Structures are given as C-alpha cells and as structure tokens.
Amino acid sequence: MKDWINIALPKGRLGEKAYGMLKNSGYPCPAIEDPGRKLIFENPEKMVRYFWVKPSDVAIYVERGAADLGIVGKDILLEYEPEVYELLDLKMGKCRMAVAGKKDFREPVGQTLKVATKFPNITRNFYAGKCRDIDIIHLNGSIELAPILGLSHVIVDIVETGTTLRENNLAVHEEIVPISARLIANVASYQFKDAQINAIRESLRKQVEEND
C-alpha cells in the first residue's frame, strides 16, 4: 500500500534546487511550478505533497511529523539538534560554520571571549570542547557588525564565499564544521513508509554521485 509523502522544502534557491532533484526522482508536482499564493502543492497520482517553509523551520515540521521528509542545512541540525533521521548529504548549499573576526585579531588571554552569533548552541558546544570561557551575544542578523563596533571579539557564523568578511576587513580565524543541505526524515514516518522513503533516498543519492 502506498502512502502520501509530505515533504517540507526550504524557501529559496536551495529548496528550488532540491525540488528539481525530487522531480527527477519521479516525484514531480506541476502545481508547485505555477506562481501563486497556495501554501500546499499536491500530486495525487504520485501521492506526494510539498510545502515551502522558512529554512530554519524545516526541522521542526519534520520532527513533529507534519512532514515525513525535509531538506535542511546542517547548521540548523547542529543548532536545534532535532530528533530526526539524517538520511543523505545532498552536497549542495555548501558553506562552512566558522569563527571570524578582525583581520589583525589576537585572542585575549586571561579574559572571557565575547562571541556574537545566530547559533548559540553550536558556539557553546564548540568552545566547551576547548574549555574556553565565553560570553555569547545572541544576534539575529548583521553579525559582522559586532566585532567592527567592538560589541564582540569574534563572531560564529556561516561563511559562503567570504566576500562580506573581506569587504569589512574581517577574516576567518578557525573553521568549526563544513555545512551542506541534508535530507531528513521523521523517525515515526520512517517506520511505516520506509520503502518509499528509501527509494527517494536512493534516487537522490545517485543524482548526488553523478553531480559530484
């Protein structure tokens, strides 16, 4: 018996690319390609249902079972540590989580390190591993401003090309972890829809290998 598969896609370029791969896997949904204000897109023939959500919310939709599958950045998985299966590294949306600061930055010795970030959990875990005393300054955007204005010594943030850092006289001082998009599944959905989910994973895996 075939069940409906609900897939949460992150809004934006990454989600569109992921949908392209899912379409190639035999799960197209023509409705999603028409611009409009609809929130949910279904293909009854393939029994697949897609919805766009804020990238940082994908993991919540999957963990809580509103979606069986989702495409999400590894940064979100490391930050929120949701209880989900992480089935595949899609090797797209590649970037890195890094410690950055002024180019001439020297770490203050014998002093608490002030770190501005959107990712407090990743930051806490990283510095806990080094037994370093830190003061986390939780910001929601424009993180690069913090060391320039003296709000923090360094920042922990996602670095893609490093252009923003360079243009503001900042530099990466340490890499924490490489980031890319992952295919995740709800643990309970996997129990009952494992054949369908594994078929999707296999098809995506082949595409990833071809593109690699």
Per CB under 8 A, residues contacting other proteins are 63-66, 83-89, 186-189, 191-192, 194
Nearer to other proteins, 32 or 72 (CB): 72
> Least separation, in Å, of the C-beta of 129 and other proteins?
9
Nearer to other proteins, 112 or 192 (CB): 192
Nearer to other proteins, 3 or 107 (CB): 3
> Three-state SS for 74?
helix
Q: For the chain, how are helix, strand and coil distributed in percent, rounded to 5? A: 35, 30, 35
Helix (H) or strand (E) holding 211: helix 187-211
Rounded distance between C-alpha atoms, residue 161 and residue 140, angstroms: 20
* Strand-pair partners of 208: none
> Least separation, in Å, of the C-beta of 19 and other proteins?
21
> Least separation, in Å, of the C-beta of 198 and other proteins?
9
Nearer to other proteins, 86 or 174 (CB): 86
Contact predicate 157/64, CB 8 Å:
no
